Structure 1
Amino acid sequence: MYFVDRSVAVIKPKAPFLDWLNKVPDNDMVDLSLEALRSDCTVILLPEFNEPEEGVAYIDEIYEQLFKMELASWYEDDALWPTDLSLKAFWEWFDVEIHSTVIDSVDDDLTNSPALQ
Protein backbone atom coordinates (compact mmCIF):
# COMPACT_ATOMS: atom_id res chain seq x y z
CA MET A 1 0.00 0.00 0.00
CA TYR A 2 1.14 3.48 -0.84
CA PHE A 3 0.25 6.97 0.34
CA VAL A 4 -0.85 9.13 -2.57
CA ASP A 5 0.07 12.79 -2.60
CA ARG A 6 -3.54 13.89 -3.03
CA SER A 7 -6.57 14.68 -0.95
CA VAL A 8 -10.03 13.53 -1.93
CA ALA A 9 -13.51 15.03 -2.09
CA VAL A 10 -16.73 13.02 -2.00
CA ILE A 11 -19.57 14.83 -3.81
CA LYS A 12 -22.93 13.85 -2.29
CA PRO A 13 -26.22 14.99 -3.84
CA LYS A 14 -28.78 16.67 -1.59
CA ALA A 15 -32.57 16.97 -1.88
CA PRO A 16 -32.58 19.67 -4.61
CA PHE A 17 -30.66 17.30 -6.90
CA LEU A 18 -33.25 14.56 -6.36
CA ASP A 19 -36.05 17.09 -6.85
CA TRP A 20 -34.52 18.08 -10.21
CA LEU A 21 -34.20 14.43 -11.28
CA ASN A 22 -37.84 13.83 -10.41
CA LYS A 23 -38.94 16.83 -12.51
CA VAL A 24 -37.05 15.86 -15.69
CA PRO A 25 -39.58 14.89 -18.39
CA ASP A 26 -39.91 11.17 -19.08
CA ASN A 27 -38.04 10.31 -15.89
CA ASP A 28 -38.47 6.59 -15.24
CA MET A 29 -36.66 6.52 -11.87
CA VAL A 30 -39.77 6.52 -9.68
CA ASP A 31 -38.13 4.56 -6.87
CA LEU A 32 -34.96 6.64 -6.65
CA SER A 33 -34.35 7.90 -3.11
CA LEU A 34 -31.93 10.41 -1.69
CA GLU A 35 -30.37 7.58 0.31
CA ALA A 36 -29.71 5.64 -2.92
CA LEU A 37 -28.25 8.74 -4.61
CA ARG A 38 -25.89 9.30 -1.69
CA SER A 39 -24.80 5.66 -1.39
CA ASP A 40 -22.50 5.63 -4.45
CA CYS A 41 -21.09 9.11 -4.99
CA THR A 42 -18.48 10.76 -7.13
CA VAL A 43 -15.04 10.93 -5.57
CA ILE A 44 -12.44 13.30 -6.99
CA LEU A 45 -8.76 13.65 -6.29
CA LEU A 46 -7.64 17.08 -5.12
CA PRO A 47 -4.22 18.57 -4.52
CA GLU A 48 -2.81 17.59 -1.16
CA PHE A 49 -4.08 19.89 1.61
CA ASN A 50 -3.25 20.30 5.28
CA GLU A 51 -6.57 21.85 6.27
CA PRO A 52 -10.08 20.89 5.07
CA GLU A 53 -10.80 24.57 4.40
CA GLU A 54 -8.15 24.51 1.67
CA GLY A 55 -10.00 21.65 0.01
CA VAL A 56 -13.29 23.55 0.23
CA ALA A 57 -11.65 26.61 -1.34
CA TYR A 58 -10.39 24.40 -4.18
CA ILE A 59 -13.91 23.00 -4.70
CA ASP A 60 -15.16 26.60 -4.89
CA GLU A 61 -12.69 27.15 -7.77
CA ILE A 62 -13.87 24.12 -9.77
CA TYR A 63 -17.52 23.97 -8.68
CA GLU A 64 -18.96 24.74 -12.13
CA GLN A 65 -17.13 21.82 -13.75
CA LEU A 66 -18.23 19.53 -10.90
CA PHE A 67 -21.83 20.74 -11.10
CA LYS A 68 -21.98 20.11 -14.85
CA MET A 69 -20.27 16.74 -14.49
CA GLU A 70 -22.83 15.61 -11.91
CA LEU A 71 -25.77 16.78 -14.04
CA ALA A 72 -24.31 15.20 -17.20
CA SER A 73 -23.87 11.90 -15.40
CA TRP A 74 -27.69 11.70 -15.42
CA TYR A 75 -28.68 13.75 -18.48
CA GLU A 76 -26.24 14.88 -21.15
CA ASP A 77 -28.79 17.27 -22.70
CA ASP A 78 -28.02 20.53 -20.93
CA ALA A 79 -31.44 21.86 -21.95
CA LEU A 80 -32.78 19.64 -19.14
CA TRP A 81 -30.38 21.11 -16.57
CA PRO A 82 -31.37 23.75 -14.04
CA THR A 83 -30.65 27.32 -15.10
CA ASP A 84 -28.96 28.32 -11.85
CA LEU A 85 -25.49 26.79 -11.79
CA SER A 86 -24.06 29.32 -9.35
CA LEU A 87 -21.67 28.55 -6.52
CA LYS A 88 -24.52 29.12 -4.06
CA ALA A 89 -26.68 26.60 -5.92
CA PHE A 90 -23.82 24.08 -5.98
CA TRP A 91 -23.56 24.15 -2.18
CA GLU A 92 -27.37 23.90 -1.89
CA TRP A 93 -27.38 20.84 -4.15
CA PHE A 94 -24.32 18.98 -2.82
CA ASP A 95 -22.54 18.09 0.37
CA VAL A 96 -18.79 17.75 -0.05
CA GLU A 97 -16.63 15.68 2.26
CA ILE A 98 -12.92 16.48 2.19
CA HIS A 99 -10.48 13.74 3.23
CA SER A 100 -6.75 14.30 3.51
CA THR A 101 -5.42 10.74 3.40
CA VAL A 102 -5.47 8.70 0.21
CA ILE A 103 -3.89 5.27 0.10
CA ASP A 104 -3.50 3.18 -3.03
CA SER A 105 -3.89 -0.50 -2.22
CA VAL A 106 -3.18 -1.66 -5.79
CA ASP A 107 0.36 -2.23 -7.03
CA ASP A 108 -0.53 -1.48 -10.67
CA ASP A 109 0.05 1.93 -12.21
CA LEU A 110 -2.90 4.29 -12.40
CA THR A 111 -4.32 4.79 -15.88
CA ASN A 112 -5.90 7.99 -17.09
CA SER A 113 -8.98 8.36 -19.22
CA PRO A 114 -9.93 11.54 -21.04
CA ALA A 115 -11.00 14.33 -18.71
CA LEU A 116 -14.64 15.25 -18.47
CA GLN A 117 -15.45 18.65 -19.85
Structure 2
Amino acid sequence: MYFVDRAVAVIKPKQPFLDWLNQLPDTDMVDLTLDSLRSDCTAILLPEFVDPEEGVAHIDEISEQLFKMELASWDEDESLWPKDLSLKAFWEWFDVEIHSTVIDSVDDDITNSPASEL
Protein backbone atom coordinates (compact mmCIF):
# COMPACT_ATOMS: atom_id res chain seq x y z
CA MET A 1 0.00 0.00 0.00
CA TYR A 2 1.15 3.51 -0.78
CA PHE A 3 0.29 6.98 0.48
CA VAL A 4 -0.87 9.19 -2.38
CA ASP A 5 0.05 12.88 -2.45
CA ARG A 6 -3.58 13.93 -2.66
CA ALA A 7 -6.61 14.46 -0.49
CA VAL A 8 -10.09 13.36 -1.52
CA ALA A 9 -13.53 14.96 -1.53
CA VAL A 10 -16.75 12.95 -1.74
CA ILE A 11 -19.57 14.89 -3.41
CA LYS A 12 -22.94 13.89 -1.92
CA PRO A 13 -26.18 15.13 -3.52
CA LYS A 14 -28.80 16.74 -1.30
CA GLN A 15 -32.59 17.01 -1.67
CA PRO A 16 -32.55 19.77 -4.36
CA PHE A 17 -30.55 17.42 -6.63
CA LEU A 18 -33.06 14.61 -6.11
CA ASP A 19 -35.93 17.04 -6.74
CA TRP A 20 -34.27 18.09 -10.00
CA LEU A 21 -33.85 14.44 -11.06
CA ASN A 22 -37.48 13.69 -10.31
CA GLN A 23 -38.76 16.57 -12.44
CA LEU A 24 -36.78 15.57 -15.55
CA PRO A 25 -39.00 14.60 -18.48
CA ASP A 26 -39.27 10.89 -19.19
CA THR A 27 -37.71 10.08 -15.86
CA ASP A 28 -37.95 6.46 -14.81
CA MET A 29 -36.26 6.88 -11.45
CA VAL A 30 -39.38 6.28 -9.39
CA ASP A 31 -37.55 4.23 -6.77
CA LEU A 32 -34.64 6.63 -6.40
CA THR A 33 -34.26 7.92 -2.85
CA LEU A 34 -31.86 10.40 -1.35
CA ASP A 35 -30.21 7.58 0.61
CA SER A 36 -29.65 5.53 -2.55
CA LEU A 37 -28.41 8.59 -4.41
CA ARG A 38 -25.89 9.30 -1.64
CA SER A 39 -24.70 5.69 -1.32
CA ASP A 40 -22.40 5.73 -4.38
CA CYS A 41 -21.01 9.21 -4.88
CA THR A 42 -18.33 10.91 -6.90
CA ALA A 43 -14.91 11.13 -5.27
CA ILE A 44 -12.57 13.91 -6.41
CA LEU A 45 -8.84 13.96 -5.74
CA LEU A 46 -7.64 17.27 -4.30
CA PRO A 47 -4.20 18.72 -3.71
CA GLU A 48 -2.69 17.80 -0.36
CA PHE A 49 -3.44 20.32 2.36
CA VAL A 50 -2.46 21.12 5.93
CA ASP A 51 -5.69 22.81 6.96
CA PRO A 52 -9.09 21.31 5.94
CA GLU A 53 -10.25 24.79 4.93
CA GLU A 54 -7.75 24.56 2.06
CA GLY A 55 -9.71 21.57 0.72
CA VAL A 56 -12.97 23.52 1.01
CA ALA A 57 -11.36 26.48 -0.77
CA HIS A 58 -10.30 24.21 -3.63
CA ILE A 59 -13.86 22.83 -3.91
CA ASP A 60 -15.12 26.44 -4.00
CA GLU A 61 -12.75 27.17 -6.90
CA ILE A 62 -13.98 24.24 -8.99
CA SER A 63 -17.61 24.16 -7.78
CA GLU A 64 -19.18 25.14 -11.11
CA GLN A 65 -17.21 22.45 -12.94
CA LEU A 66 -18.23 19.89 -10.30
CA PHE A 67 -21.86 21.02 -10.47
CA LYS A 68 -21.92 20.59 -14.26
CA MET A 69 -20.20 17.21 -14.04
CA GLU A 70 -22.76 15.92 -11.54
CA LEU A 71 -25.70 17.18 -13.64
CA ALA A 72 -24.24 15.75 -16.85
CA SER A 73 -23.78 12.36 -15.23
CA TRP A 74 -27.60 12.14 -15.11
CA ASP A 75 -28.71 14.25 -18.09
CA GLU A 76 -26.48 15.84 -20.71
CA ASP A 77 -29.19 18.21 -21.98
CA GLU A 78 -27.98 21.51 -20.53
CA SER A 79 -31.34 23.14 -21.26
CA LEU A 80 -32.79 20.97 -18.48
CA TRP A 81 -30.15 21.99 -15.95
CA PRO A 82 -30.87 24.58 -13.28
CA LYS A 83 -29.96 28.10 -14.37
CA ASP A 84 -28.21 28.91 -11.09
CA LEU A 85 -24.88 27.10 -10.92
CA SER A 86 -23.39 29.54 -8.44
CA LEU A 87 -21.18 28.63 -5.49
CA LYS A 88 -24.12 29.22 -3.16
CA ALA A 89 -26.32 26.87 -5.20
CA PHE A 90 -23.57 24.23 -5.25
CA TRP A 91 -23.47 24.14 -1.45
CA GLU A 92 -27.29 24.01 -1.34
CA TRP A 93 -27.32 21.01 -3.70
CA PHE A 94 -24.32 19.05 -2.34
CA ASP A 95 -22.61 18.03 0.86
CA VAL A 96 -18.87 17.52 0.57
CA GLU A 97 -16.81 15.23 2.76
CA ILE A 98 -13.12 16.04 2.67
CA HIS A 99 -10.51 13.50 3.73
CA SER A 100 -6.81 14.28 4.01
CA THR A 101 -5.39 10.77 3.65
CA VAL A 102 -5.49 8.75 0.44
CA ILE A 103 -3.89 5.31 0.28
CA ASP A 104 -3.51 3.30 -2.90
CA SER A 105 -3.97 -0.41 -2.19
CA VAL A 106 -3.15 -1.47 -5.76
CA ASP A 107 0.43 -2.07 -6.90
CA ASP A 108 -0.33 -1.21 -10.55
CA ASP A 109 0.33 2.25 -11.98
CA ILE A 110 -2.58 4.68 -12.03
CA THR A 111 -3.88 5.46 -15.51
CA ASN A 112 -5.04 9.02 -16.04
CA SER A 113 -7.49 10.15 -18.68
CA PRO A 114 -8.96 13.65 -18.87
CA ALA A 115 -12.49 14.21 -17.64
CA SER A 116 -14.75 15.82 -20.20
CA GLU A 117 -14.52 19.60 -20.29
CA LEU A 118 -17.82 21.16 -19.28
Tell me which interval the TM-score lies in, with the shorter structure as reference length. Answer: over 0.9
% identity of equivalent residues: 83
- Whether 1:71 aligns to 2:71 is yes
Instruction: Provide the alpha-carbon RMSD of the alignment.
Output: 0.6
Distance in structure 2 (CA, Å) of the matches to 1:76 and 1:69? 9
TM-score (norm 1): 0.98
Q: Secondary structure at the match of 1:98?
A: strand
Q: Deviations over 1:57-113 (max 9, x none)?
A: 000000000000000000011011011101000000000000000000000000012
- Give unpaired runs (5+ residues) of structure 1: none
Distance in structure 1 (CA, Å) of the matches to 2:38 and 2:115? 23
Q: Secondary structure at the match of 1:74?
A: coil
**Correspondence for 1:102:** 102
**Correspondence for 1:116:** 116
Q: Which amino acid aligns with 1:26?
A: D
Distance in structure 2 (CA, Å) of the matches to 1:107 and 1:116? 27
Aligned length: 117
Moved over 6 A (4+): none
**Correspondence for 2:29:** 29
TM-score (norm 2): 0.97
